[in-house]
Chain A
Amino acid sequence: QKEVEQNSGPLSVPEGAIASLNCTYSDRVSQSFFWYRQYSGKSPELIMSIYSNGDKEDGRFTAQLNKASQYVSLLIRDSQPSDSATYLCAVNSPSSNTGKLIFGQGTTLQVKP
């Protein structure tokens, strides 16, 4: 079992729709969770962080965390073609407090005009 799992996609949604990206993690003592967006040929860009159970909203983005289910998700409302990218879920390794991030393989999102 991988430590952080994401569906590789591609996830295709029409412009204006809600895109839902999901991530599960194996170690239940993980404390910090991050979503990065990566455009093709570029480096990852941090878009959301979440540390507590529940929802966290930032503009069109909402991160949801359920530690009991070991599940974290990212919702993108009013999806735009510019949102087309690979979305990486990252979890802080619980084996230390140094900030080592464990990444999923990423989900490719395609927003069609």
Chain B
Amino acid sequence: DAGVTQSPTHLIKTRGQQVTLRCSPKSGHDTVSWYQQALGQGPQFIFQYYEEEERQRGNFPDRFSGHQFPNYSSELNVNALLLGDSALYLCASTHGGPYEQYFGPGTRLTVT
């Protein structure tokens, strides 16, 4: 049973650039959430996708956008990167509503 997968594992970008992160949910899951985790902090909710639509969004600027594909995989896009965007980006999947969420290995983004 494949778990949540994310790519790439690590990424280094320069301020002002754009980045796309990818996530494939656990088998049988149809809902994908994205979180940002700064060093020493708990994950912060960015947004959630269900049925190819953004269902809920956290307190993140419009520079953060996403997409969900018919196979339930998802992308997170960040435009105009800032130094403060350096963090671990986590994708979590679940089936349906407020149930257990399973995280992928994360993408470590460094903005220089």
Contacts and interface: CB of A to CB of B under 8 A. Distances in A.
A43 interface: yes
B50 A98 contact: yes
A19 B95 CA distance: 32
A46 B98 contact: no
B48 A99 contact: yes
B105 A101 contact: no
Contacts of A4: 42
B90 A44 contact: yes
Contacts of A96: 56
- What band does the interface of chain A fall in when counting residues whose beta carbon is under 8 Å from B? 20 to 34
Contacts of A44: 43, 90, 103
A99 B31 contact: yes
A101 B102 contact: no
Contacts, number: 69
B8 interface: no
A102 B112 CA distance: 29
B56 A98 contact: yes
A49 interface: yes
B8 to A, nearest CB: 14
Contact of B97 (A90, A98, A106): A98
A87 to B, nearest CB: 11
Given A46-B103, A98-B97, A101-B43, 15 more contacts: A32-B98, A34-B100, A42-B106, A43-B105, A46-B100, A46-B101, A49-B100, A92-B98, A99-B94, A99-B98, A99-B99, A101-B92, A102-B45, A105-B40, A106-B41
Interface of A: 4, 31-32, 34, 36, 42-46, 49, 88, 90, 92-93, 96-106
